Chains A and B, each alone.
Chain A
Amino acid sequence: MELLFALVIGALTASGVYLLLRARTFPVVMGLTLLSYGVNLFLFATGRLATGQQPVIGTAANYTDPLPQALVLTAIVIGFAMTAFLVVLALRNLADNENDHVDGQQENTSPASKQEQEVTSK
């Protein structure tokens, strides 16, 4: 079970990191989402894997560690907020630069010309 869980986290991380390194905003957002799944599962797992031990008093004989669950619960919600913020940054980038490259410019243009663009747009 532990091995399986570790492999899941590894797969999420690897997929997330690969997409994170892409050049367009949308794959990056998806990559971050995958990565945050992995991170949430990892944090959750610090309380170890337990079956049928939900931390609700009176429903089980033993209870699993509730603290990581509380942490991850807020992490999920905050993670959503950050994803939304990132998506909006990507949209704003699209609106301002008319493309969805993470560097705010198409490939094969130098940073110098980008600075010029910024100057002229101001």
Chain B
Amino acid sequence: MSLPLVVLLPFLGAIAAPLFAQGGRTAIAIASSVPALIALAALFPHWPVLAAGGTVLHSYEWLPVLGLSFSFRLDGLALLFALLILIIGLLIILYAHYYLKAKENVAKFYSLLLCFKGSMLGIVLSGNLLLMLIFWELTSLTSFLLISFWTHKQDARRGARMALAVTGGGGLALLAGILLIGNIAGSFELDDVLAAGDQIKAHALYPVALTLVLLGAFTKSAQFPFHFWLPHAMQAPTPISAYLHSATMVKAGIFLMARLYPALAGTEQWFYMVSFTGMATLLLGAYIAMFKHDLKGLLAYSTVSHLGLITLLLGMGTQLAAVAALFHVINHATFKASLFMAAGIIDHETGTRDMRRINGLWRYMPHTATLAMVAASSMAGVPLLNGFLSKEMFFAESLQLNLPGLWAWLPPIVATLAGIFAVAYSARFIHDVFFNGKPVDLPKYPPHEPPRYMKIPVEILVFACIMVGVFPAVSVGPLLYAAASATLGGNVPDYQLAVIHGFNLPLLMSFMAFFGGLLMYSQRKRFFAFHARFREIDEKAVFEALVSKIVSLANRFTGWVENGSLQRYAMLLVLSVIAVTALPLADNGIYVGENGLSPADWPTAIAAGVLIIAALATVVWHRERFFALILLSVVGLIVALAFARFSAPDLAMTQLSVEVVTIVLLMLALYYMPSWTPMESSGTQRIRDILIALAAGTGMTLITLTMLTQPFSTISAFFLENSKPGGGGTNVVNVILVDFRGFDTLGEITVLAIAALGIYSMLKNTALTPPPGDGLGHAWTRDQYPLMLRQIARPMLPLALLVSAYIFLRGHNLPGGGFIAGLITSVALILQYIASGMIWTQDRIPFRYHNVIGLGLLFATVAGAGSLAFGYPFLTTAFGYITWPVVGKFEVASALVFDLGVYLAVIGATLLALVSIGRLSPHSAIKSQKEGV
């Protein structure tokens, strides 16, 4: 339990910390320290196991199907990094307490810092690669928020965005790499992956996987050519920079390489990719650092350079080099964190970080100066300090590389050259800032020492630099051994941590670097002049230009795909449907199935011919809308006949009544619309559409033909058998609707109701003036409500209602039912509106259609829920027989109540829709609003 707790605590702290903001800055700083203190205490008991080279694993299942588990694993390497993260994190909190100004949002600061800390701990303690990746992405996100902490600064926002883009992009590559590795190794558990090293390296996809993983590591650890984000991330408050760029964020990439060292390292590809990237980064960072006038800029490029050094060591592939790499991780973290803090103090006390202005501070702050000078000496590699030890190991290893011919000289030369630059920029940090004349035009004058406690974190770190430098074996020996053992899979080479290994080539290189660096610094004016001849590339400008280029490309693409034309979308939709359907069709083939074709009879053939002609004629004359509408109704009527012809009387009746309502609806719409369509499409466009339409039509013909000639099996035997005994009705279609699939029907009438209410609300406050005539010069007829029609329509109503009642009642046993009866009633009512007008009819209808819909849904639901009261599932039918005088024996089923609901809902929905449209014209609207339709 203790390992997940270590990771979880900082996140809990992040939630809790803002609560302490009320208690003042000291309270929140103390509260923020608690998670780290508990975590340290939780890690401590594991030390004996780790010192012996063992691991601690706490694993919980999460998504076993994906190979993802909450698996936390502690070994020497993880411990080394966890200690750096926790201890330096604590010092940062203390330091930030004095660094942050009173008006700063400390709650946000500590909260984000703790989130970041938790994410980092998650990376180093993950025992599952996928879990590690989650934390990896979390560090990208939280560091983005930390770098942009001062959100009012544009540079901070841009720097943060750049960091996020680079590290986030690397995270994607890493994801791909991890998936490949997991696939090869058969598991994402770290133990399995590390054990499968040979298998991974022998696999054909190893080069791809390695490249992807290294992309992730290089972007995170700011390796050339991805190094540019790191200096721009210096816009963060200095405590953040000190934390992110010494011990944590940028070390995550290093950690990843060390973590996967047994699984990936030891091949030629690893050697060339990692060591040459490291070499380039080492040299470039050290060179640029020398020319930076900004204190933090110098430290940033020096960080880049040191990360390159560690990468180079890891890339060399020898065991001793790996030990040296880990050693330098510790040393760099200690001296770089203290230097960043010192730079922050100087910035804090002088108001600037420009080394051309801050000179001669020794006189004003000797204490800080001493600390900074010791740390900078360690960075330069001065003996008796920790930086010297790992640099000596680095020099020694650079001589051991077996490169062919003259290439063998490259690593030691690069190493020495980088050493010279490092001494030069360290000397600049010391001499320029603390000596070299007097301060020039400082914003805060005179500078003085910072608060006593602000220096404590720096003192602790500098003390560590000296301790490790003088007593390396005692101070970090065991920890380093445990970490190396974990990295190298137990094969730790013999090495000695001693201050001096005797007079040898590495020591000579150190001397060359030291005096060469001092010489270079003394001649700095010439180098500056030399450097000034080159135009410096502003990475941020390049990056911003790239981003805006991508954005404009994306915009153009979106504009091309989504140009706002629904007509085009419809075409693309149809085309995609054709494409998606064509693929499986091409696979399965189109053929006449084994059932074969049956002969057609003449009446059917003629009807089909008329239908096809009417459909095509609708298209041909679609510009003349009234005529096309009449042709359309011919199509609909023949469809109804087709249903009757092929044994579907219910469908025929439904289609027939819907057809009437639909045509009335379209007629009504046409009253407001232009009655003809202008010719707009170009010839090519029409030909294109015809081709699309023909493709769709041909496709449907072939699919239908293939389907109709296949043998098939159906589940309907159940319905046919149980319709009478179980549902109490002989009309199986109706029993399916109101009983077997009653819940579907309930859903469908609900949709119907929603559509009608949607229509009502869409037209509620809309008025449309119909055009004065049909657009071709004919005025509307003056006889709005023809006498004959009126006289016939009125007596039709009771007759039609009687018919619909009959159709409704018999529906359970013979063709009919709620849907059909409802439509017939609707048609009868609509006829009244047509014949006698909106106002006349509305006056005589005493209810609102909304209520009819509501009542219908209520009936249907209550009929369904009634069965619940008797302990049956929702919508179970009960039926019995009663005998009425005159009518005779009569069946009553609870399904009848349900069907009544359907009937009412259909009437309400249909009429509400049509009346809403009819009400649109101004003169009928006045009246009906008063009525409250």
Contact = CB atoms under 8 A, between A and B. Distances in A.
Q: Do A and B bind each other?
A: yes
Interface of A: 1-15, 17-30, 33-34, 37-38, 40-42, 44-60, 63-67, 69-70, 72-74, 76-85, 87-92, 94-96, 100, 102-104, 107, 111, 114-115
A77 B654 contact: yes
A81 B755 contact: yes
B542 interface: no
B413 interface: no
Could you say which interface size class chain B belongs to? 35 or more
Contact of B570 (A21, A24, A84): A21
Given A1-B598, A11-B611, A26-B625, A51 B697 contact: no
Contacts of B662: 33, 80, 83
A15 B615 contact: yes
B680 A23 contact: yes
A68 B149 CA distance: 63
Contact of B616 (A11, A63, A64): A11
A15 B693 contact: yes
Contacts of A85: 755, 758-759, 913
A70 B741 contact: yes
A20 B723 contact: no
Contacts of B909: 81
Question: Which 3 residue pairs across A and B have the least CB separation, nearest first?
Answer: A14-B697, A10-B701, A111-B564
B564 A53 contact: no
Interface string B703-734: 11101110010111001100110000011110
A14 B699 CA distance: 9
Interface string B676-705: 011011000000011011101111111111
B43 to A, nearest CB: 59
B599 interface: yes
Contacts of B622: 19, 22, 27, 30
B612 to A, nearest CB: 4
A26 B716 contact: no
Contacts of B745: 74
A19 B768 CA distance: 25
A43 B647 CA distance: 14
A5 B608 CA distance: 8
B759 A21 contact: no
A20 B692 CA distance: 11
B30 interface: no
A34 B90 CA distance: 74
B390 interface: no
Interface in B734-761: 736-737, 741, 744-745, 748, 751-752, 755-756, 758-759
Interface stretch (B175-183, B482-490, B523-531, B634-642): B634-642
B814 A26 contact: no
Given A47-B714, A85-B759, A95-B766, A21 B639 contact: no
Contacts of A49: 598, 646, 708
Contacts of A52: 647
Nearest to A77: B819
B673 interface: yes
A2 B730 contact: no
B597 to A, nearest CB: 5
Contacts of A92: 762-763, 766
A73 B723 CA distance: 18
Which of A27, A53, A81, A103 has the largest number of chain B CB atoms within 10 A? A81
B904 to A, nearest CB: 14
Contacts of A19: 618-619, 622
Contact of A103 (B567, B645, B755): B567
Nearest to B731: A56
A90 B619 contact: no
B277 interface: no
Contacts of A73: 650-651, 654, 733, 737, 819
B597 A102 contact: no
B708 A48 contact: yes
A36 to B, nearest CB: 10
Contacts of A103: 564-567
B670 interface: yes
Contact of A17 (B655, B696, B815): B696
B603 to A, nearest CB: 12
Interface string B575-607: 000000000000000000000011111001100
Contact of A56 (B612, B689, B732, B768): B732
A74 B858 CA distance: 19
B928 interface: no
A57 B704 contact: no
Given A29-B666, A111-B559, 15 more contacts: A1-B604, A2-B704, A6-B704, A11-B611, A22-B622, A23-B567, A27-B622, A33-B666, A44-B648, A46-B707, A51-B645, A73-B654, A81-B752, A84-B914, A91-B766
A47 to B, nearest CB: 7
29 contacts: A6-B705, A7-B608, A7-B612, A7-B701, A8-B642, A11-B616, A15-B697, A17-B693, A17-B696, A18-B692, A23-B567, A29-B666, A34-B615, A37-B636, A44-B646, A45-B708, A49-B598, A54-B815, A56-B649, A66-B732, A67-B736, A80-B661, A85-B759, A88-B762, A91-B768, A91-B917, A95-B768, A103-B564, A114-B564
A111 B565 contact: yes
Which of A27, A64, A73, A103 has the largest number of chain B CB atoms within 10 A? A73
Nearest to A112: B564
A87 B665 contact: yes
